[in-house]
Structure 1
Amino acid sequence: VIAVPPYFGQAERRGLLQAAELAGINVLSLINEYSGAALQYGIDKDFSNESRHVVFYDMGSSSTYAALVYFSSYKSKEYGKTVSVNQFQ
């Protein structure tokens, strides 16, 4: 499983899969890198007695991404939004 930035389009994702194939890497799936962070966070925690909302964010010079993820013992759900500096100009 390879985590990719949320701004990667289909062309970049195909290119990444081709590069992995050339390198001899067996890719099972591509996932959003924030989903990967949330997945790892959820694996390490016990939600049997409670539920929790967690924000994962990445603030860079040209864009900001935040994902609000709801965790419980039964499910998780991600809400995300990418904001580019161009949207404020």
Structure 2
Amino acid sequence: MIEDGSDLSIKASVDPDLRAAEYVLGSLDAWDRAEVARQATTDARMADRIRVWERWLAPLLDAIPPVVPRSNLHAALLKALFERSE
């Protein structure tokens, strides 16, 4: 078992194409995302998988309307971060 309670052998057996897709979609947690990013720097096959998923999913970006953040978002984020650090 690893720190988060999951079994490393299960993570190791996950389909690499699925991991690449999750990476591109942004659905991995921070630890897994960093792990896949590291892997892509040393494993050309993983880097290729990521590029393929980026190409396949890129057309979906056109279907998402742009969103303009609230004008006070930056200030609200800074306030929340400050309050959290206290």
Tell me the TM-score normalised to structure 1 length.
0.28
Identify the structure with the greater helix proportion.
2
Identify the structure with the greater strand proportion.
1
Q: Give the greater-gyration-radius structure (CA).
A: 2
Tell me the TM-score normalised to structure 2 length.
0.29
